[in-house]
A and B are shown apart, each in its own frame.
Chain A
Amino acid sequence: MSTTMDPAGAAPHLASAARTDAPPAIVLDKVNKWYGSMHVLRDVTLSVATGERVVVCGPSGSGKSTMIRCINRLEQHQEGRIIVDNMELTDDTRSLDAIRREVGMVFQSFNLFPHLTILENCTLAPIWVRHMPKKEADELAMHYLSRVKIPEQANKYPGQLSGGQQQRVAIARALCMKPKIMLFDEPTSALDPEMIKEVLDTMVGLAEDGMTMVCVTHEMGFARQVADRVVFMDRGEIVESGVPEQLFNDPKTDRLKTFLSQILRGH
């Protein structure tokens, strides 16, 4: 677990882009999930407004990754309702495909396609899922690769890039689908400390553009700078949530206090 308190913590908080006039981007309503007999999500209820940036934190095994993976149905919930972009997640594959087109995801382990070049990684889904002409997809991909500051790597393979570069490609790949919502599942946890910043900077840039983001991370500095709301999860349930300043400076529950003291003591 790596936390950077100071550098980003000093930065001023971004103005919120959350829109109260639009319907919420994501609604989780009393979501429950079990792995066998293990209860991993307990009555999780959360609503994310369009343009809102939510950071989810909590100790390992608290269900935060499982929750975020339920939002684009990489995991299936067993009870409750999940509504994404006004569509309810059900077994119907057509609505699932529609939701996945609108939700981009960035993984802890990048999960780039190693046999495709960086450019091909970025253009595959736009061409085949969005039916975009190849030329247009190439231009779009180069646009986003420039945005994550690695256009010159377009014709390399993922294995030739550093971890930080790979994660930025993964962000560009997700953005090429022009998603309405971006999910980040511990995007910096597999990175060396000097590469964390370049990925976080990319994410801050995304937040500045008003992207709806749900981000599982332990980067408290990032949370302070970017998050409209921080959600603290422990043992499968949401224990506490609020604006970052209030949550970090004035934790109400013992569980959050313990968690905060643990991640601070580690550094």
Chain B
Amino acid sequence: MAEITAEATAPRPAQDAELGHRRPPLLAVGPLAWAKANLFSSWISTAVTLALGYLLVRWTMGFIDWAFINAIWSVPVTPQGAQTQACRALGGTGACWAVVTEKHRFILFGTYPYEEHWRPAICVLLFIGLYIVSAMRRFWRPALALIWLATLAVIGVLMWGGMLGLSYVPQERWGGLVITLILATFGIALAFPLSILVALGRRSSMPAIKTLCVLYVELIRGVPLISLLFMASVMFPLFLPEGMNIDKLLRAQIAIILFAAAYLAEVVRAGLQALPRGQYEAADALGLTYWQKTGFIILPQALRLVIPPLVNTFIGFFKDTSLVLIIGIFDLLTAGKTAIVEPAWQGFGIEIYVTVGLIYFVFCFAMSRYSQGLEAELNRHRVR
């Protein structure tokens, strides 16, 4: 055996020198080959590529002209109000970012007292910090729950005030981005655990629990979020005893939690059903209790399977918080809308909506990217 191998390998070096080191042809691998195969494979695809390329360049140039080159970043403000003649003179050829410069604090903080804006600003930073800490796996330990409770308590104190020398700010004056973050964070943080319980309950062998969970999901899922919000804001107080009043924001928050949980429960249930029966049986055969089986075997696998639809639902609910505008809560979008009610700024909606849209996009895109990374990391065990 050894002799044969020696014979087979011996002539190699000579052969290599003789033949020279050959690379694959330039047009068979690499970016040029890719472009040839995907963009210029036939005369039709070449034509489409060129046409689309032309449009892309034109639109990009047009956008850069509008958004940067012709844009006006600020306008003089006199005691009579903002002087927006310069913006109007553009006639739509350039963006009037002055409206954002002028109104950004209103968009971010709504009608919160102007000199106290640092309080919601810190809250927004605290929320973002909370997201970042929660996203890091090395912080995934029981202490994280305490971090959440502490942060949320600090946010509450900052927003309400009335203690530690902070002036009291009633909830009606809260608004802007911080409202959106409050609704989305509490909404998802409370709806998710609730949805897991409901999904488990729907698969329970106990008929009463199962019926209750099915009823809950079907009832909540069967009505629009707007009608739930209306019920929370208009009908719910009618059932409360005289003089008792629950904060409007809290009522809207509860409606959002209940609504989100019903949707998330179905996503989680899909994950539970995707697991093979053998996993349940193996856990049973080892003598694990129901909650041990669920916590160690079933949920870790089921939730990993449904990360994409879960995050899809999370992103949906982040944006659905904007529906609270119909019951008069000042979230990010409502604040943006209200900012251009002032006569001087009427007609500059595009700039405001682009800005508000960009804020939503940053949060949603961050969630999306993070979930992709998480999915890849948590499903490493499937790679052989």
Which residues between 174 and 204 of chain A lie within 8 Å of chain B, taking CB atoms?
Answer: 174, 177
CB distance from A214 to the nearest CB of B (A): 13
User: Cβ of A114: which chain B residues have Cβ within 8 Å of it?
Assistant: 301, 381-382
Chain B residue nearest to A161 (CB atoms) is B384
Measured in the bound complex, the distance between the Cα atoms of B283 and A112 in whole Å is: 9
With known contacts A74-B285, A129-B287, A111–B301 Cβ distance under 8 A: no
With known contacts A114-B381, A115-B300, A173-B286, A107–B292 Cβ distance under 8 A: no
Q: Determine whether A124 belongs to the interface, using a CB cutoff of 8 Å to chain B.
A: yes
Please count the residue pairs between chain A and chain B whose beta carbons lie under 8 angstroms apart in the complex.
65
A100 near B382 (CB under 8 angstroms)? no
Q: Determine whether B279 belongs to the interface, using a CB cutoff of 8 Å to chain A.
A: yes
Which residues between 62 and 84 of chain B lie within 8 Å of chain A, taking CB atoms?
Answer: none
B301 near A115 (CB under 8 angstroms)? yes
B304 near A115 (CB under 8 angstroms)? yes
B382 near A113 (CB under 8 angstroms)? no
Which residues between 49 and 76 of chain A lie within 8 Å of chain B, taking CB atoms?
Answer: 72, 74
Which residues between 97 and 128 of chain A lie within 8 Å of chain B, taking CB atoms?
Answer: 97, 100-101, 103-105, 107, 109, 111-115, 124-125, 128
B287 near A101 (CB under 8 angstroms)? yes
Q: Determine whether A159 belongs to the interface, using a CB cutoff of 8 Å to chain B.
A: yes
Measured in the bound complex, the distance between the Cα atoms of B286 and A115 in whole Å is: 17
User: Cβ of B279: which chain A residues have Cβ within 8 Å of it?
Assistant: 111, 113
With known contacts A97-B289, A128-B288, A159-B381, A107–B282 Cβ distance under 8 A: yes
With known contacts A115-B381, A159-B382, A74–B281 Cβ distance under 8 A: yes
Chain A residue nearest to B296 (CB atoms) is A124
Q: Determine whether A259 belongs to the interface, using a CB cutoff of 8 Å to chain B.
A: no
A107 near B278 (CB under 8 angstroms)? yes
User: Cβ of A115: which chain B residues have Cβ within 8 Å of it?
Assistant: 300-301, 304, 381
B297 near A111 (CB under 8 angstroms)? no
Q: Determine whether B284 belongs to the interface, using a CB cutoff of 8 Å to chain A.
A: yes
A100 near B282 (CB under 8 angstroms)? no
What per-residue 1/0 map shows which CB atoms of A136-177 lie under 8 Å from chain B? 000000000000000000000111100000000000011001
User: Cβ of B289: which chain A residues have Cβ within 8 Å of it?
Assistant: 97
B281 near A107 (CB under 8 angstroms)? yes
Chain A residue nearest to B378 (CB atoms) is A115
CB distance from B314 to the nearest CB of A (A): 22
Measured in the bound complex, the distance between the Cα atoms of B67 and A7 in whole Å is: 81
What per-residue 1/0 map shows which CB atoms of B270-312 lie under 8 Å from chain A? 0000001011011111111100100011001100100000000
Q: Which of B285, B292, B296, B383 contacts A100 (CB 8 A)?
A: B285
B288 near A129 (CB under 8 angstroms)? yes
B286 near A177 (CB under 8 angstroms)? yes
Q: Which of B282, B287, B382 contacts A111 (CB 8 A)?
A: B282
User: Cβ of A100: which chain B residues have Cβ within 8 Å of it?
Assistant: 284-287
CB distance from A103 to the nearest CB of B (A): 8
Name the prevailing secondary structure of the B interface residues. Answer: helix
Q: Which of A74, A111, A160 contacts B384 (CB 8 A)?
A: A160
User: Cβ of A173: which chain B residues have Cβ within 8 Å of it?
Assistant: 286
Q: Which of A101, A128, A160 contacts B296 (CB 8 A)?
A: A128
A111 near B288 (CB under 8 angstroms)? no
User: Cβ of B285: which chain A residues have Cβ within 8 Å of it?
Assistant: 72, 74, 100, 103-105, 107, 174
User: Cβ of A103: which chain B residues have Cβ within 8 Å of it?
Assistant: 285
A113 near B282 (CB under 8 angstroms)? yes
Which residues between 2 and 52 of chain A lie within 8 Å of chain B, taking CB atoms?
Answer: none
Measured in the bound complex, the distance between the Cα atoms of B282 and A209 in whole Å is: 24
User: Cβ of A128: which chain B residues have Cβ within 8 Å of it?
Assistant: 288, 292, 296
CB distance from A2 to the nearest CB of B (A): 21
- Max chain A CB contacts within 10 Å: which of B286, B382, B383? B286
A74 near B278 (CB under 8 angstroms)? no
Measured in the bound complex, the distance between the Cα atoms of B292 and A97 in whole Å is: 13
Measured in the bound complex, the distance between the Cα atoms of B206 and A243 in whole Å is: 45
- Max chain A CB contacts within 10 Å: which of B287, B292, B304? B287
CB distance from B98 to the nearest CB of A (A): 54
Measured in the bound complex, the distance between the Cα atoms of B292 and A146 in whole Å is: 27
User: Cβ of A158: which chain B residues have Cβ within 8 Å of it?
Assistant: 381
CB distance from A96 to the nearest CB of B (A): 9
User: Cβ of A72: which chain B residues have Cβ within 8 Å of it?
Assistant: 284-285
With known contacts A111-B279, A157-B381, A159-B384, A74–B296 Cβ distance under 8 A: no
Measured in the bound complex, the distance between the Cα atoms of B286 and A157 in whole Å is: 19
What per-residue 1/0 map shows which CB atoms of B18-38 lie under 8 Å from chain A? 000000000000000000000
Chain A residue nearest to B292 (CB atoms) is A128
Chain A residue nearest to B301 (CB atoms) is A115
Measured in the bound complex, the distance between the Cα atoms of B296 and A101 in whole Å is: 17
With known contacts A74-B281, A159-B381, A159-B384, A113–B288 Cβ distance under 8 A: no
Measured in the bound complex, the distance between the Cα atoms of B293 and A113 in whole Å is: 11
Measured in the bound complex, the distance between the Cα atoms of B292 and A125 in whole Å is: 9
User: Cβ of A107: which chain B residues have Cβ within 8 Å of it?
Assistant: 278, 281-282, 285
What per-residue 1/0 map shows which CB atoms of B346-384 lie under 8 Å from chain A? 000000000000000000000000000000000001111
User: Cβ of A112: which chain B residues have Cβ within 8 Å of it?
Assistant: 282
CB distance from B134 to the nearest CB of A (A): 21
User: Cβ of B384: which chain A residues have Cβ within 8 Å of it?
Assistant: 159-160
Could you write out 21 A-B pairs with CB less than 8 Å apart?
A100-B284, A100-B286, A107-B278, A107-B282, A109-B276, A111-B278, A113-B279, A113-B297, A113-B301, A115-B301, A115-B304, A124-B286, A125-B287, A125-B288, A128-B292, A129-B286, A129-B292, A157-B381, A158-B381, A159-B383, A173-B286
Q: Given known contacts A101-B287, A159-B381, what 12 new A-B pairs fall within 8 Å (CB)?
A: A74-B284, A104-B285, A105-B282, A107-B278, A109-B276, A111-B276, A113-B279, A114-B381, A115-B381, A124-B296, A125-B287, A177-B287
- Please name the 5 residue pairs, one residue from A and one from B, whose CB atoms are nearest each other, closest first: A111-B282, A100-B287, A111-B278, A125-B286, A157-B381
Seen from chain B, the residues whose Cβ lies within 8 Å of a Cβ on chain A are 276, 278-279, 281-289, 292, 296-297, 300-301, 304, 381-384
